[in-house]
Amino acid sequence: MRALRLTALLLPALWLSGCDEFDFDSGPSDRYKEDFHFSHALPQGGRVTVENANGAIEISTWEKNEVEVNGTKFAKTEEMLREIKIEFQPSSGAVSVRTIQPSRWRGGGGARYFIRVPRRADLERITSSNGGIRVDGVEGNASLRTSNGAIRTTATKGMLDARTSNGVVELKQTGSVEVHTSNGSIRADVERGAFTAETSNGSITARLTDADANAPVRMDSSNGSIDLTTNAPRDVRASTSNSSLTVRIPANAGARLRAHTSNASITTDFDVAVRGVQGKHNLEGTIGGGGPLLDLSSTNGGIKVLKY
């Protein structure tokens, strides 16, 4: 039987300054608040969907086969607060939560979510705007979308697709990752799986371990540096503009190297058996006995291939 409970508290509240990028304490729009609570049974492997507008989402796990949703609506006026609705729709094997904004939305209000899910839940679609998304400990596939907010995951497992704008992305993930942002940096610590990262006006720093040789790496940045450390042979295609590119691989690694830069130099700790005509801005050849391709390019930035 469905368990559904709603609690509410309406009060004028002092707004807090100095909020973090997850916006769990907003500014003047926090003057009126209303708390809500829902819960429902969900088996391991069940699906969770959250569609929010103008607010942060935080998701963690517990040992119960149940979803628990706690949150707070906020607005500048009582009238605006009443017009914001929270829709909770449980079904067999899935739970959906949605923030419904007024048809004549004037801004200045929204909702914040704190959600607990079974450890092996699939986060089918988690979306927001003007707020960050934080996920901890979930062992299922996840699709995360926001704007004007950061995305962070810790101790998560499964396939991850994370996208934001005007926000940083920080990941500690086991499984394949695809991540995109603009006007923000990407920092990733990933075990096992393919890795794709793209940003503009931000750097990419990634540490990839226990990699499968069939799991390729693709990294692209504009106006930001790229720094990659990988402990296993795998194809790497990385490009940046207006910054540097550094790749670290084991001292005993073998690879095929193809590197090109303009207005900068290429340096490497490895002996490279060069092929064709080489120059300051181009280097192509074989490291060790050969292996996966390191295809590296930069404009206005140097390229380094280092041992570790």
pLDDT tens digits, residue range 200-239? 989 999 999 986 767 889 999 998 999 999 987 789 999 9
What amino acid is encoded at 121 in this protein? A
pLDDT of residue 232: 79
Domain assignment of residue 47, given as a range: 1-118
pLDDT of 5 higher than 80: no
Q: Tell me how far apart the alpha carbons of residues 198 and 223 are, in angstroms, rounded to a whole number.
A: 12
Q: Is 148 inside any structural domain?
A: no
Q: Tell me how far apart the alpha carbons of residues 214 and 216 are, in angstroms, rounded to a whole number.
A: 6
Instruction: Kindly state whether residues 288 and 183 are assigned to the same domain.
Output: yes
User: Which of 43, 70, 74 is closest to 59 using CA atoms?
Assistant: 70
Q: What is the largest CA-CA distance in the chain?
A: 74
Q: Is 42 inside any structural domain?
A: yes
User: Which of 119, 173, 118 is closest to 144 using CA atoms?
Assistant: 173
Average pLDDT over residues 176-200: 95
pLDDT of residue 281: 87
Give the pTM: 0.88
If pLDDT is split at 50, 70 and 90, which confidence band does 106 have? Answer: low
Phi then psi dihedrals of residue 83, to 5 deg: -80, -20
Q: Is 96 inside any structural domain?
A: yes
Poorest-confidence range of 89-98, 186-195, 271-280? 271-280
Please give the sequence-ordered ranges of beta strands (E in DSSP) within 181-281, or none if there are none: 186-191, 195-200, 204-209, 217-222, 226-230, 236-241, 245-249, 255-262, 266-268, 272-274
Q: Tell me how far apart the alpha carbons of residues 41 and 259 are, in angstroms, rounded to a whole number.
A: 53
Domain limit, last residue, from 118, 141, 176: 118
Average pLDDT over residues 270-294: 88
Instruction: Kindly state whether residues 49 and 179 are assigned to the same domain.
Output: no
pLDDT of residue 91: 92
Q: Is 125 inside any structural domain?
A: no
Average pLDDT over residues 189-193: 93
pLDDT of residue 11: 32
Q: Tell me how far apart the alpha carbons of residues 153 and 123 are, in angstroms, rounded to a whole number.
A: 12
pLDDT of residue 29: 57
Instruction: Kindly state whether residues 106 and 181 are assigned to the same domain.
Output: no
Pull the structure tokens for residue 69: 């949703």
- Got the DSSP string for 82-99? HH-EEEEEEETTEEEEEE
Instruction: Kindly state whether residues 54 and 189 are assigned to the same domain.
Output: no
pLDDT of residue 218: 96
If pLDDT is split at 50, 70 and 90, which confidence band does 24 have? Answer: very low
Average pLDDT over residues 287-305: 94
Percent of the residues in the chain that have a pLDDT greater than 90, as a whole number: 74
Q: Is 141 inside any structural domain?
A: no
pLDDT of residue 6: 36
Which residues touch 29 (CB under 8 Å, ≥6 apart)? 15, 74, 75, 76, 108, 109, 110
pLDDT of residue 137: 98
What amino acid is encoded at 279 in this protein? G
Rg (CA), the chain: 23
Count of C-beta atoms within a 10 Å radius of residue 125? 16
Q: Is 134 inside any structural domain?
A: no
Instruction: Kindly state whether residues 111 and 207 are assigned to the same domain.
Output: no
pLDDT of residue 211: 67
Q: What is the pLDDT of residues 28-86, one digit of tens each?
A: 457 899 999 999 999 999 999 999 989 999 999 999 999 999 999 999 889 889 999 99
Tell me which range, 102-106, 157-161, 270-274, is most confidently predicted by mean pLDDT: 157-161
Pull the structure tokens for residue 195: 């890795």
pLDDT of residue 68: 98
Q: Is 135 inside any structural domain?
A: no
SS (H, E, C) 97-149: EEEECCCCCCCCCEEEEEEEEECCCEEEEEECCCCCEEEECCECCEEEECCCC
What amino acid is encoded at 269 in this protein? D
Pull the structure tokens for residue 242: 């207006």
pLDDT of residue 102: 81
Instruction: Kindly state whether residues 79 and 200 are assigned to the same domain.
Output: no
Domain limit, last residue, from 77, 94, 118: 118
Q: Report the number of distinct structural domains present in the chain.
A: 2
pLDDT of residue 221: 95
Percent of the residues in the chain that have a pLDDT greater than 70, as a whole number: 88
Instruction: Kindly state whether residues 1 and 95 are assigned to the same domain.
Output: yes
Q: Tell me how far apart the alpha carbons of residues 86 and 144 are, in angstroms, rounded to a whole number.
A: 20
pLDDT of residue 269: 95
Instruction: Kindly state whether residues 173 and 114 are assigned to the same domain.
Output: no
3-class DSSP assignment, residue 183: coil
Instruction: Kindly state whether residues 42 and 177 are assigned to the same domain.
Output: no
Q: Is 178 inside any structural domain?
A: yes
Q: Tell me how far apart the alpha carbons of residues 69 and 121 are, in angstroms, rounded to a whole number.
A: 14
pLDDT of residue 8: 36
Instruction: Kindly state whether residues 83 and 217 are assigned to the same domain.
Output: no
Residue 192 contacts residue 211 (beta carbons within 8 Å)? yes
pLDDT of residue 233: 77
Instruction: Kindly state whether residues 186 and 79 are assigned to the same domain.
Output: no
Average pLDDT, the chain: 88
pLDDT of residue 243: 92
Q: Tell me how far apart the alpha carbons of residues 26 and 6 are, in angstroms, rounded to a whole number.
A: 23
Domain limit, last residue, from 118, 134, 153: 118
Instruction: Kindly state whether residues 106 and 183 are assigned to the same domain.
Output: no
Q: Tell me how far apart the alpha carbons of residues 192 and 209 are, in angstroms, rounded to a whole number.
A: 6
